[in-house]
Amino acid sequence: MDSVLTQIQVVYALILRETRTRFGQNRLGYLWAILEPVFFVTTFALVYRILGRAAPARMPIVPFLTTGFMPYLLFRESSGRGMHAIEANRGLLFYPQVRPLDLIVARSTLEVATNILAFGLIVAVYSTYTGSLDISDPLQVLVGLGLAAGIGSSLGLTLCAASVFSSSIERLHGPLIRPLFWFSGLMYPTAQLPSGYRKLLAYNPIVHCVELTRTGYFRGYRADHVGPIYPLVWIAALLFLGLALERAARRRLVLS
Amino acid sequence: MITLTQVSKAYRTTRGMHVVLSNLSAEFASGRNIGIIGRNGAGKSTLMRLISGAEWPDSGTVVRRARVSWPVGFSGGFSGSLTGAENARFVARIYGMPTDRVLAFVIEFSELGEYFDMPVKTYSSGMRARLAFALSMAIDFDVYLVDEITAVGDAHFQRKCRSAFEDRRDRATLIIVSHDLTTIRSYCDSCAVLRQGQLQFCDSIDEAQRLYES
């Protein structure tokens, strides 16, 4: 129990430290981090508007893109930043209290919190602007976002621990993640796809996260081919692999 | 209080494995300040990191039955882009100490003045060592691992370090590594020589000197 408390203490200290090293002296630094996904969504919404395209099934374009992009961004950012956790903070392992796992947990937590805040900000600003807030099942939205964060964080853990053994692992991240931008149903409901493609895309766990988020957000949005079990299996498998690698990595790490 | 059993450690280099410690067993008792002497590259810093728990041995075990500090020295542990105060706050937090108390102590002890609120990368190596030393003294450890640090700083700071250690002599033990016997002679009760991956304990510091210089 004592060691759990110590680890919580360490992770908390690391998060505070990370906000400082990452966002800088300036308090506005953190605001920029939150605004980044906001700009991302706004840019795409503008492109839709300019091209005169509408979201499918007359869904409002901003919530449609937000419910697609945010799970994807949660996944991409938490895995990408988690992956570099050890590399960027190797010096801190000098303190015996700090374990590699703490570095990864702290980074992922901060990343997830930032992106969830960004999601909240977009929804808040948008609903203030339109004068109505209509989320069908907020809990379900959080499940979708949470699963995406879970897959991203556990993938980050696995890649980070694996990169202790071979630094070329880090190069895999980009080619692995980027195509998923197009194949995760961010800009189209996967239920409308021909069944062959739909079945193929359902192997991608991010599709499930996106669709679960959307079924939670929009009343009457149907996506019967997805569920939380499949992403949960991914999380369990990645966690198992990542934690095993992290244990092995502890002996391998050279501090100086 | 600290027991090393059959500890081995090797590092991968471009020219194969480099064995630093091989089957080293040792016991450090509380209340006896001990100096470890060895040439550059003998594995002194590696031994310190293993004792502290920052690194794990390839085989063998290290058992600590006391609150052991990190290896206090010039390098490691500070982020250059953060100020001395921010670094101190971080260390206080990971050891579960009230940050205000730690900061107040470090300001007073390190005598860094306005540098305390400047990035650590602007510090001289002596100032870094002063920060590291003050910080470790702000936290109550049973065992202080000191890596070549006491030889730095001016005479005034050295006096201060000495009296700080004398103050807590009855509750804290020192393990110092150095390649210079003068430091060890002035702080330690006994001495061991680290060479060829092994630690040889000596009855007196003079004996250690003979062994070291042979």
pLDDT band (50, 70, 90) for residue A245: very high
Closest residue of B to A17, CA-based?
B90
Pairing mode of beta strands B34-37, B190-195: parallel
Greater confidence (A222 vs A141) lies with A141
The residues with which B126 forms a beta bridge, in sequence order, are none
Mean pLDDT of chain B: 88
Q: How do B2-13 and B16-28 pair as beta strands?
A: antiparallel
Residue A91 in contact with partner chain B when CB distance is under 8 A: yes
A-chain residues near B53 (CB < 8 A) = 96
Instruction: Give residue A234's pLDDT band: very low, low, confident or very high (50, 70, 90).
Output: very high
With 90 as the cut, is the pLDDT of residue B104 above it?
yes
Which residues lie closer than 8 Å to A251 by C-beta, 6 or more apart? B56, B58
> pLDDT-based confidence at A12, cuts 50/70/90?
very high
Give tens-digit pLDDT for A150-179: 999 999 999 999 999 988 988 989 898 999
pLDDT of residue A115: 94
Is the predicted pLDDT of residue A182 greater than 70, yes or no? Answer: yes
Mean pLDDT of A108-114: 94
Long-range contacts of B107-111 (CB under 8 A, 24+ apart): B109/B133, B109/B134, B109/B137, B109/B138, B109/B160, B109/B164, B110/B84, B110/B134, B110/B135, B111/B157
The verdict on a CB contact (< 8 Å) between A13 and B94 is yes
Which residue in chain A has the smallest CA separation from B97?
A9
Of residues B78, B79, B94, nearest to A97 (C-beta): B94
B chain contacts of residue A17, beta-carbon cutoff 8 Å: 79, 82, 86, 90
Region A88-117 average pLDDT: 92
SS3 content of chain B, % helix, strand, coil (to 5): 40, 30, 35
Query: Residue B32: pLDDT band by 50, 70, 90 thresholds?
Result: confident
- For chain B, the first-to-last Cα distance in angstroms comes to 31
Query: Is residue B188 within 8 Å of B205, Cβ to Cβ?
Result: yes
Do the Cβ atoms of B96 and A6 come within 8 Å?
Answer: yes
3-class DSSP assignment, residue B170: coil
Q: Among A97, A164, A246, A251, which would you mutate to test the B interface (most chain B Cβ atoms within 10 Å of its Cβ)?
A: A97
Cα distance between residue A154 and residue A83, in whole Å: 10
Tell whether A248 lies on the interface with B, counting CB pairs under 8 A. Answer: no
pTM of the model: 0.89
Pick from B189, B192, B179: nearest CA to B150: B179
Query: If you average pLDDT over residues B188-201, what whole number do you get?
Result: 89
Q: Per-residue confidence at B148, pLDDT binned at 50, 70, 90?
A: confident
Poorest-pLDDT segment among A135-149, A217-231, B163-177: B163-177
Identify residues of B whose CB sits under 8 angstroms from chain A CBs: 11-12, 45, 49, 52-56, 58, 68, 70-71, 75-79, 81-82, 86, 90-91, 93-96
CA–CA distance, A38 with A125 (Å, rounded to integer): 10
With CB atoms and an 8 Å threshold, state whether A16 touches B90: yes
Return the pLDDT at A13.
95
* Predicted confidence (pLDDT) per residue in B61-96, tens digit: 999 999 999 988 766 688 888 899 999 999 999 999
Average pLDDT over residues B143-151: 79
Token output for B108: 């007073």
pLDDT value, residue A250: 85
Instruction: Tell if the CB–CB gap between B76 and A91 is shorter than 8 Å.
Output: yes
A8 → chain B, closest CA residue: B94
Q: What pLDDT, on the 0 to 100 scale, is given for residue B160?
A: 85
Tell me if A95 sits within 8 A of B94, measured CB to CB: yes
Asked if the Cβ–Cβ distance from B11 to A10 is below 8 Å, we say no
Of B54, B78, B91, the CB nearest to A255: B54
Q: Which chain A residue has its CA at the smallest distance from B79's CA?
A: A91
State whether ipTM is beyond 0.95: no
State whether residue B62 is helix, strand or coil.
strand
